[in-house]
Amino acid sequence: MRIYSGFRDRLWRHRQLIGIVFFALIGIGIGVFAALVYDLPDITPLEDYSDPKWQLPSKVYDGNNVMFAEFFQEKREIVQLSDLPRHVSEAFLAAEDRRFYLHRGIDFLGITRAMAKNLRAGRVVEGGSTITQQLAKVLFLSSERKFARKIREALLAVRIERRFSKNEILERYLNTIYLGEGAYGVEAAAQIYFQKHAKDLTLGESAMLASLPRLPFHYNPYRFPEAAKTRQTYVLNSMSREGYIGDTELAPAQEEFWRGFDVHRLTIQERRGQMRAVRAPFFAEVVRQYLGERYGYDEVYKGGLEVKTTLDITMQEAAEQILRRHLAHWDEIKRKEREAAGRPPKPPLQGALVAIHVKTGEVRALVGGNEWSVNNQFNRATQAIRQPGSAFKPFVYITALENGLTQSDKLMDAPAIYQHTRPGEYWTPENYDQEYHGEVTLRTALMHSLNVATVKLMEKITAKKVIDTVRRFGVTSKLEPFWALALGSYDMNLLELTSAYSAMANGGIRHDPLLVLQVFDREGALLEEGVPVESEATSPAIAYLITNMLKTVVQEGTGSYIGKNLGRPAAGKTGTTNDFKDAWFIGFTPELACGIWVGYDDHTLSIGSRMSGGVVVAPIWTEFMQAACANTPATDFAVPPGVRFASVCSQTGELATEFCPKPRSAAFLVGTEPTVYCHEHRGPGN
């Protein structure tokens, strides 16, 4: 009694101090609580999916609305709860929050049960967070393991429960939860893991996805199938205990899932390597860079843009397959040759292809290499700059036609020496076959790609005028007025060169290459509409004259493989650089221009002796154009006003007589056609 009395007396004497401490502790508690509550995040983003808080992938479509690529950091697809089979939501409820419809955001009974299980196991085997708490953490808080974060998570969960219905919360959770492999939400996960929509998930697949939230990597069926199967069994048993499924449904659900597992395994491994560009990766990468520069990469990866492009996915995939097959064919030939000679193999041969609709400038196909991979993402259609060789020559001849010459005018194909750019040094151009042909017409010089005659032609019209012409056709690469310009000895890329050729097919009207037609934001508002930007590169008549000359290249000249095999009117030019390092063919039909380059990334390597554009590239070009134009009727190039045809001798360029061995129909500006009959073929005695 005395002890108790003494203790009471001491309390009484220190009552003032105790009171101060007591109220101080209450104040600190209130302060801490107020601090935690004060800056709680606004939960308004949960009201609808238009808020930027919901990171959505940007989707890219071809001209026929076929989606071929996505850009994202969080792969998320929004799905309505009403569109899902019941077993999807029931699987997640059984695995993550069986009392979801009974609590108000915090499940104290569930927390107690989880603590008891964890104490018995000596480790964390079950969490106490409700689905509402998980939603609050994923959308609004960090994942740091701190007591303060858990308090804020619980407070947010209560707020969410007061503002939204249970079904609204469950739907947002199913669209939010991370399920591994870059997938956020059940729709994205269904597509990545099983290549189907969430509305089509089976019971076994739903249980597998519901196994993932706690440890997505560890329970990934493609990485750890045994652990995944054990966790899936747990989810199915939980569904049975909760009365969602009958006991007899468990075994068949698992059996059906694992029976088809190997098929899923192959598919997911392919998809994981190309997550951002499912198809047409080189084209998609050009679009990604364009969108990133225009809208910012944050918007590209999170903003849910809808992008319609000029791509024709059927044409694109034909281009990829045809190019890859031909490159593999030449690689195999070269491998055997070098193996027989006891020499080490060369790296894989590379190639690039661009196809452009000539009336609009819309890029229908773009391939930047023989195959897209982690180690092969360099785009040889847009990033590589190589010498086009003789594929540049048409611009020399266009300049000549614009300056009053005709395809029947004469050039002297004979040895010539030119002052080099360095004093005291000289340059001597040579023809491909190292032979000279004497006096030839412009038509013959272009048809057979005679180097010396072309240099002499540029000497007559000046290099400066040739550069002016090329600039009008949209080539922006660095060019200098030296003799080698006539032979394409300056670097440029495939896209700009193909675009320049498309203007020849389009009556001299050039369009900037166009890849993006429309861009919409996540709510469907139009942000951008691509409009063809056109300019006059040359007159319709001159465009037709060069086309008429380039038709002879594929009919009788260096591209004759095309004329023999394509089966429709076409025009174009081969290109081969020194030592056969680069092989080109750029050409067009009335509807489509296509350019192809083949070579090695190491520009010091030769493709091989006699491996010219006509040998290597012409067959690729022919096969692609046959596929690309399969549904387009074969038509010839329209003749514009101001053009007249004359039958000329293919050797002299003069009006053909009945004795000329190879008369040809040639196009001229009205008033410039030949007036003199062939002096070499006038019959017996003449």
What pLDDT, in 10s, does the model give residues 390-436? 999 999 999 999 999 999 999 999 998 887 766 767 888 888 888 89
Instruction: Supply the pLDDT for residue 142.
Output: 54
Verify that 150 and 227 share a domain, yes or no: yes
Percent of the chain's residues with pLDDT above 90: 60
| Mean pLDDT value across residues 362-385 | 88
SS3 state at 661: coil
* Residue 171 placed within a domain: yes
Verify that 243 and 387 share a domain, yes or no: no
pLDDT at 275 over 70: no
| Mean pLDDT value across residues 378-390 | 93
**Could you say which of 240, 257, 275 is where a domain stops?**
275
**pLDDT band of 70, cuts 50, 70, 90:** confident
Catalytic residue numbers read: 96, 390
* Residue 669 placed within a domain: yes
Neighbours of 679 (CB within 10 A): 11
Phi-psi region of 261 (alpha: psi -120 to 50; beta: other; left: phi over 0): alpha
Please write the tens of the pLDDT for every residue from 625-680.
Answer: 999 999 999 999 999 999 999 999 999 999 999 999 999 999 999 999 999 999 99
Instruction: Supply the pLDDT for residue 108.
Output: 74
**Could you say which of 614, 633, 661 is where a domain stops?**
614
State how far the Cα of 390 lies from the Cα of 394, in Å rounded to an integer.
8
* Residue 147 placed within a domain: yes
Question: What average pLDDT does the chain have?
Answer: 86
* Residue 621 placed within a domain: no
Q: What is the DSSP string of 311-353?
A: --HHHHHHHHHHHHHHHHHHHHHHHHHHHHTT-PPPPPPEEEE
Verify that 14 and 90 share a domain, yes or no: no
Verify that 194 and 261 share a domain, yes or no: yes
* Residue 312 placed within a domain: no
* Matching residue, tokens 């010839």: 636
Q: Residues 96, 211: contact at Cβ < 8 Å? A: no
| More confident: 141 or 448 | 448
Residue 16 structural domain = 2-39
**pLDDT band of 31, cuts 50, 70, 90:** very low
**Could you say which of 275, 307, 326 is where a domain stops?**
275
State how far the Cα of 675 lies from the Cα of 224, in Å rounded to an integer.
84
Verify that 267 and 118 share a domain, yes or no: yes
Verify that 430 and 390 share a domain, yes or no: yes
Tokens read off for 605:
């390597």
Cα 405 off chain centre by: 44
Write out the E strands in 509-600.
509-511, 516-520, 526-529, 534-536, 571-576, 582-588, 592-599
* Residue 13 placed within a domain: yes
Verify that 538 and 588 share a domain, yes or no: yes
* Residue 636 placed within a domain: no
Verify that 271 and 349 share a domain, yes or no: no
Sorted by sequence, the CB contacts under 8 Å of residue 666 that are 6+ apart come out as 407, 408, 443, 548, 645, 646, 647, 648, 653
Cα 536 off chain centre by: 30
Q: Where are the alpha helices (DSSP H) in 434-538?
A: 442-447, 451-461, 463-472, 494-505
CATH of the domain at 210: 1.10.3810.10
pLDDT at 144 over 80: no
Alpha carbon distance, N-terminus to C-terminus of the chain? 153
pLDDT at 30 over 50: no
| More confident: 607 or 428 | 607
CA neighbor of 254 nearest in space, from 308, 211, 294, 214? 211
Verify that 420 and 560 share a domain, yes or no: yes
Specify the amino acid at residue 101: Y
Verify that 385 and 528 share a domain, yes or no: yes
State how far the Cα of 566 lies from the Cα of 424, in Å rounded to an integer.
48
Own/partner long-range contacts of 211-219 (Cβ < 8 Å, ≥24 apart): 211/95, 211/235, 212/179, 212/180, 213/92, 213/95, 213/96, 213/134, 213/177, 213/178, 213/179, 214/127, 216/178, 216/179, 216/180, 216/181, 217/180
Verify that 79 and 32 share a domain, yes or no: no
DSSP label of 85: -
Question: What is the number of structural domains in the chain?
Answer: 4
Instruction: Supply the pLDDT for residue 149.
Output: 56
Verify that 552 and 438 share a domain, yes or no: yes
* Residue 395 placed within a domain: yes
CA neighbor of 382 nearest in space, from 492, 465, 256? 492
CATH of the domain at 603: 3.40.710.10
pLDDT at 155 over 90: no
**pLDDT band of 321, cuts 50, 70, 90:** very high
CA neighbor of 576 nearest in space, from 548, 551, 608? 608
